């Protein structure tokens, strides 16, 4: 029987360990190559201007991949705002930068 990975991670305590590690990293942020060392946990933002909370731009079924990946209902896509690479030629520029 299929079990989502997050359930097994929670059962072993690994999910909680990873969440604690993320909280630690957010207080001296090095999540991206800019390594700003800001304390995002208290609201500081660095080069990417990203807050500590994820901001979802859109969620929808996605059919733009190979048929085995999308099946009949799509693979599912979640687009987040903010991006730490800040490429002006990015196909998602309008959702990653203009919403900031």
Q: How far is the C-alpha of 8 from the C-alpha of 91, rounded, in Å?
A: 35
- Do 33 and 58 reside in the same domain of the chain? no
pLDDT of amino acid 96: 65
Confidence at residue 44, expressed as pLDDT on a 0 to 100 scale = 93
Alpha helix positions (H), the chain: 5-12, 14-26, 67-70, 93-96
Are 81 and 95 in contact, with CB atoms under 8 Å apart?
A: yes
The pLDDT confidence band at residue 9, using thresholds 50, 70 and 90, is very high
Is residue 62 located within the same domain as residue 99?
yes
Whether the per-residue pLDDT at 48 is higher than 80: the answer is no
Higher local confidence (pLDDT), 92 or 71 = 71
With vertex at residue 82, the alpha carbon angle to CA 91 and CA 69, rounded to the nearest 5 degrees, is: 55
Q: Are residues 30 and 60 in the same domain?
A: no
Instruction: Residue 28: give the domain boundaries.
Output: 1-46
Domain count, the chain: 2
Same domain, yes or no: 10 and 29: yes
Residues 41 and 61 in one domain: no
Task: List, for residues 86-98, the tens digit of each pLDDT value.
Answer: 666 777 777 666 5
Looking at the structure, tell me whether residues 62 and 93 fall in a common domain: yes
Residues 28 and 63 in one domain: no
Shared domain for 19 and 38, answered yes or no, is yes
């Amino acid at each position: 029987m299929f079990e989502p990975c997050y359930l097994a991670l929670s059962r072993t305590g690994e999910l909680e360990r990873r969440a604690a590690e993320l909280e630690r990293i957010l207080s001296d942020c090095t999540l991206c190559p800019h390594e700003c060392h800001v304390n995002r946990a208290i609201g500081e933002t660095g080069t990417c201007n990203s807050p500590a909370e994820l901001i979802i731009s859109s969620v929808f079924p996605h059919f733009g991949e190979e048929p085995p990946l999308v099946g009949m209902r799509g693979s599912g896509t979640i687009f987040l705002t903010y991006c730490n690479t800040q490429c002006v030629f990015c196909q998602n520029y309008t959702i990653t930068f203009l919403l900031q």
